Amino acid sequence: MPGAVHQVHAFVVPAATSSEEISTIFLEFGLLILGLGIIARLARRWEISAVPFYLLAGLLFGEGGLSVVDSSDALVPTLAELGVILLLLLLGLEYSGDELVQTAQRQSRSGVIDLIANSVPGALVGFAFGWGIPGALALAGVTYISSSGIVAQVIRDLRWRRNPETKPVVSVLVLEDLVMAPYLPILTVVLTGTGLVTGLISVSVALIVVAVVIVITLKGDTSFKRLFNASEPVGLLLIVFGAAVAAAGLAGLVQFSPAVAAFLVGLLLTGELAEVARRRLDPLRELLAAIFFVYFGLSTDISNLPAVLLPAAGLALLTIGTKFVTGWFAAATVQGGTISRLRAGALLSARGEFSVIIAGLVAVSGILPPTFQAFVAAYVLITAFAAPFLARWAEPIGWWWQQRPGRVRS
């Protein structure tokens, strides 16, 4: 019996060192959340998005900065990954299968323009830096894919959900996310040197999963919805969140995008179920998304940025312009005029979570030099900072343009 008591005591009470480490993690994490809360309050008072300030805080207090928060601990990176999953899950909950297909059809031209105009500059710069086909393919993805997370956050911060350009913008984001489904397995094959057969299997699995989910939503199959009950919001919260996280984990095991998997889970739910799930998950999304954005700053060594800042800024300026071209064509399908088109371009100009994921795949492969990660970090930070401010200025610029003497209003 004494031995058993000793074992239980050892299990319940951690060693002194372990207890100190846990307390330190709690202290750092608590201060991090407190700081994010202050940033969010100030941003709301100034009526601008908090996203760029989250990124700046991460840079200042992470690697190469003041090093106040250790980004190598498992807690913050794990929560940051959950933030990405929630961002894409909530995006999926905004759509039904019919809406997805209809908007994809309406925005097919914008989708093609988006793909060509924004991936080609990245590919050319990749070749120019001597990174070969792997670097060109990776950087093409970085410059192509807009940040669904930042877009969703800016729309929420500026209360643009019911604006005419919002649906076309989300449609473009959905098309980009669907392109990522086969792109990420292809990139993984190129970076890791996986055999052709294995690569084809990974890409085929990605396409089949996307197609099956869309078919299910189009046919309105409700048999699986028996698991969900909108009258039990707590149970619904746990089941939806658990399903999204489990789907993301399974997707990662088969080389499928975890973020796209979470999006597809959200796509399966429509109507009242989706609305209740959105309301319940939204506060959790706000918390974990903030952690994701600050973590990207924390994990970026600020000392590596100066060497790549100028070329990254040049590419950012060019591809912000190409995103405005995409937004211009996308918003042309709705009644909103120049203002809506400018707001659409501003929203789409931010790059974020997918670009970071691509940089992470490159880092794990070790096939490209560390310069690539630093370049992507600088590029993402510039576009992520610029987009919320561009969105803020889009409306005044649009009004000025439409009110010019002799200008016919659009």
Higher pLDDT pick, 230 / 362: 362
Q: Write out the two tokens for 97.
A: 């299968």
Identify the structural domains of the chain with CATH numbers, from first to last: 28-66+76-400 (1.20.1530.20)
Q: Write out the two tokens for 193.
A: 């040197």
Residue found by looking up tokens 């076309």 in the block: 168
Mean pLDDT of 143-152: 85
- Report which of 87, 19, 97 is spatially closest to residue 286, judged by C-alpha positions: 87
pLDDT, one tens digit per residue, over 354-387 is 787 788 778 777 888 888 888 988 898 899 888 8
Q: How far apart are CA 102 and CA 92, in angstroms?
A: 15
Higher pLDDT pick, 328 / 55: 328
| Chain centre to alpha carbon of residue 150 | 7
Mean pLDDT of 335-352: 86
- Report which of 291, 280, 278 is spatially closest to residue 82, judged by C-alpha positions: 291
Report whether pLDDT(3) > 50: no
Mean pLDDT of 238-257: 81
- Report which of 233, 258, 230, 225 is spatially closest to residue 244, judged by C-alpha positions: 258
Q: Is 196 exposed, middle or buried (0-12, 13-18, 19+ CB in 10 A)?
A: exposed
| Chain centre to alpha carbon of residue 63 | 22
Percentage above 90 pLDDT, the chain = 17
Higher pLDDT pick, 158 / 240: 240
Report whether pLDDT(251) > 90: no
* Contact predicate 224/243, CB 8 Å: no
Mean pLDDT of 240-269: 79
Q: How far apart are CA 222 and CA 354, in angstroms?
A: 31
What kind and span of H or E run contains 43?
helix 16-46
C-alpha triplet 345, 268, 351: angle, nearest 5°: 25
User: Dihedral of CA 385/388/390/396: which sign?
Assistant: negative
What are the angstrom distances between the C-alpha of 216 and each of 100, 106, 141, 182, 339?
A: 12, 21, 29, 20, 37
Q: How far apart are CA 214 and CA 202, in angstroms?
A: 19
- Alpha carbon distance, N-terminus to C-terminus of the chain: 85
* Contact predicate 266/27, CB 8 Å: no
Encoded amino acid at 153, one letter:
Q
Q: Using 50, 70 and 90 to split pLDDT, how confident is the model at 69?
A: low
Q: How far apart are CA 254 and CA 245, in angstroms?
A: 15
DSSP 300: S
pTM: 0.73
Query: By mean pLDDT, which of 160-164, 278-282, 340-344 is the weakest?
Result: 160-164
In this structure, what are the phi and psi dihedrals at residue 397, rounded to the nearest 5 degrees? Answer: -65, -40
DSSP 305-366: SHHHHHHHHHHHHHHHHHHHHHHHHHHTTSS-HHHHHHHHHHHHT---HHHHHHHHHHHHHT
Q: Using 50, 70 and 90 to split pLDDT, how confident is the model at 11?
A: very low
Mean pLDDT of 162-170: 84
Q: Using 50, 70 and 90 to split pLDDT, how confident is the model at 15?
A: very low
Tell me what pLDDT residue 121 has. 96
Encoded amino acid at 166, one letter:
T
Higher pLDDT pick, 176 / 121: 121
Mean pLDDT of 123-151: 92
Task: Mark out the alpha helices in 107-164 (DSSP H runs).
Answer: 108-128, 132-144, 148-157
C-alpha triplet 327, 330, 333: angle, nearest 5°: 140
CB atoms within 10 A of CB 304: 18
Tell me what pLDDT residue 183 has. 82
Q: Using 50, 70 and 90 to split pLDDT, how confident is the model at 8?
A: very low
Mean pLDDT taken over the chain: 79
Mean pLDDT of 321-331: 93
CB atoms within 10 A of CB 5: 9
Encoded amino acid at 113, one letter:
I
Q: Using 50, 70 and 90 to split pLDDT, how confident is the model at 137?
A: very high
Report whether pLDDT(6) > 50: no
Report whether pLDDT(106) > 90: no
Mean pLDDT of 107-115: 89
